[in-house]
Amino acid sequence: GFLAGLAAACTVPLAACAGRSGSPIPGPATRPLPIPPLAASTVGPDGVRRFTLDIQQGTSEILPGKRTPTWGYSGSILGPTVRARRHETVAFTIRNAVPEPTTVHWHGMHLPARFDGGPHQTIPVGGTWEPAWTIDQQAALLWYHPHPHGGTEKHVYRGLSGLFIVDDETTDALDLPKDYGVDDIPLIIQDRRLTADGALDESDPTDVGLLGDTIVVNGIAGAHLDVRTDRVRLRILNGSSGRIYNLAFADHRPFQLIATDGGLLTAPVTLPNIQLSPGERAELVVEMRGGEQIVLRSLPIEQRRDIDRAAEFGFDDSFDILRLRAAQNPKPSAPLPVSLATIAPLAQPGTAPDHTFELKWFMINNQRMDMNRVDLTVPVDTTQVWTVRNNDNWPHNFHVHDVQFQVLDIDDQAPPPALSGWKDTLYTEPQRTYRLAMHFAHHSDPTYPYMFHCHLLLHEDHGMMGQFLVLAPGRQPTPMRMDMPGT
Ligand code: C2O
Ligand code: CU
- Cα–Cα dist 292/245, whole Å: 24
Helix, strand, coil abundance in the chain, percent, nearest 5: 5, 40, 50
Q: What is the mean pLDDT of residues 6-15?
A: 36
State the average pLDDT over residues 366-386.
Answer: 96
Quick check: 13 pLDDT over 70?
Answer: no
pLDDT band at 228 (very low <50, low <70, confident <90, very high): very high
pLDDT-based confidence at residue 16 (cuts at 50, 70, 90): very low
Residue 313: pLDDT over 50: yes
Residues 232-268 have pLDDT tens digits of 999 999 999 999 999 999 999 999 999 999 999 999 9
Q: What is the mean pLDDT of residues 394-422?
A: 97
Q: Residue 189: is its pLDDT beyond 60?
A: yes
Q: What is the pLDDT of residue 487?
A: 41
Identify the CA nearest to 246 among candidates 178, 324, 314. 314
Q: Which ligand is nearest to the CA of 425?
A: 1
Closest CA to 349 of 262, 426, 419, 430: 419
List the residue whose alpha carbon is closest to atom 1 of ligand 1.
107
Q: What is the mean pLDDT of residues 120-139?
A: 98
Q: Determine the average pLDDT of the residues in 38-52.
A: 97
Q: Is 401 in the pocket of ligand 1 (CB under 6 A)?
A: yes
How far, in Å, from the CA of 195 to the mean position of ligand 1? 28
Widest CA span in the chain: 66
Provide CB contacts within 8 A for 444, sequence distance 6+. 380, 469, 470, 471, 472, 475
First-to-last alpha carbon distance for the chain, in angstroms, is 27
Measured distance CA(23)–CA(447) in Å, rounded: 50
C-beta separation of 465 from 422 below 8 A? no
Q: Which residue has the higher pLDDT, 3 or 459?
A: 459
Dihedrals phi, psi of 322, to nearest 5 degrees:
-155, 135
155 lines ligand 1 (CB under 6 A): no
Which of the residue ranges 19-33, 390-404, 471-485 would you say has the lowest mean pLDDT? 19-33
Quick one: pLDDT band at residue 3, thresholds 50, 70, 90?
A: very low
pLDDT at 193: 96
Q: Which is nearest to 248 in space by CA: 317, 315, 299?
A: 299
Give the pLDDT band (50/70/90) at residue 308: confident
Q: Which pLDDT score, from 0 to 100, does residue 303 have?
A: 87
The pLDDT confidence band at residue 479, using thresholds 50, 70 and 90, is confident
For 291, other C-beta atoms within 10 Å of its C-beta total 11
In this predicted structure, what is the pLDDT of residue 484? 62
Q: Are 374 and 344 in contact (CB under 8 A)?
A: no
DSSP 101-154: -B--EEET----GGGS-STTS-B-TT-EE--EEE--S-SEEEEEE---TTTHHH
Q: Which residues have CB atoms below 5 A from the ion given as ligand 2?
A: 396, 454, 456, 459
pTM: 0.93
CA gap 320, 248 in Å, rounded: 10
Lowest mean pLDDT among 11-15, 326-330, 454-458: 11-15
Q: Cα of 148 to ligand 1 centre, how many Å?
A: 10
Give dist(CA 134, CA 436) in Å, integer: 26
Q: Is the ipTM of this complex over 0.90?
A: yes
How many A from CA of 317 to the centre of ligand 1? 25
Determine whether the shortest distance from the Cβ of 453 to ligand 1 is under 6 A: yes
**268 close to 285: Cβ distance less than 8 angstroms:** yes
* Helix (H) and strand (E) counts in the chain: 4, 33
Counting from 1 in the atom list of ligand 1, the atom nearest the Cα of 451 is 2
Q: What mean pLDDT do residues 134-142 have?
A: 98
pLDDT of residue 29: 67
Return d(Cα 69, Cα 58) in angstroms, integer.
6
Q: Are 390 and 428 in contact (CB under 8 A)?
A: yes
In whole numbers, what is the pLDDT of the chain averaged over residues? Answer: 92
Of the listed ligands, the closest to the CA of 466 is 1
- Which ligand lies nearest to the CA atom of residue 428 in the structure? 2
Q: Of 6-10, 75-79, 207-211, where does mean pLDDT reach its minimum?
A: 6-10
Across 43-72, average pLDDT: 97
The CB of 262 under 6 Å from ligand 1? The reply is no
Average pLDDT estimate for 369-377: 95
Give the pLDDT score at 163: 98
Q: Is the CB of 408 under 6 A from ligand 1?
A: no
Atom 3 in ligand 1: residue holding the nearest Cα: 107
Q: Is the CB of 400 under 6 A from ligand 1?
A: no
Ligand 2 midpoint to CA 178 (Å): 34
State what percent of residues in the chain have pLDDT above 70. 93
Residue 28 pLDDT? 56
Q: What is the pLDDT of residue 23?
A: 36
Q: How many CB atoms lie within 10 A of CB 272?
A: 11
Q: Which domains does the chain have, with CATH numbers?
A: 4-25+174-331 (2.60.40.420), 32-168 (2.60.40.420), 355-471 (2.60.40.420)
The predicted pLDDT at position 9 comes to 33
The Å distance, Cα 205 to ligand 2 centre, comes to 14
Whole-number percent of the chain with pLDDT over 90: 90
Identify whether the C-beta of residue 374 lies closer than 8 Å to the C-beta of residue 464. no
Q: What pLDDT, on a 0 to 100 scale, did the predictor assign at position 304? A: 86
pLDDT score at 279: 98
**147 within ligand 1 shell (Cβ under 6 A):** yes
Q: What is the CA radius of gyration of the chain?
A: 21
* Ligand that lies nearest to the alpha carbon of residue 402, given by its number in the listed order: 1
pLDDT at 480 over 70: yes
Q: Is the CB of 451 under 6 A from ligand 1?
A: yes
For 156-194, give one letter per residue: b (16+ CB within 10 A) or e: bbbbbbbbbbbbbeebeebebbeebeebbbbbbbbbbbb
Q: pLDDT category, 93, cuts 50, 70, 90?
A: very high
Span of 247-256, 306-315, 461-470 with lowest mean pLDDT? 306-315
Q: Are 111 and 81 in contact (CB under 8 A)?
A: no
What per-residue confidence (pLDDT) applies to 17?
38
Average pLDDT over residues 397-403: 98
Ligand 1 close to Cβ of residue 109 (< 6 A) = no
Neighbours of 135 (CB within 10 A): 22
Q: Hey, is 347 helix, strand or coil?
A: coil
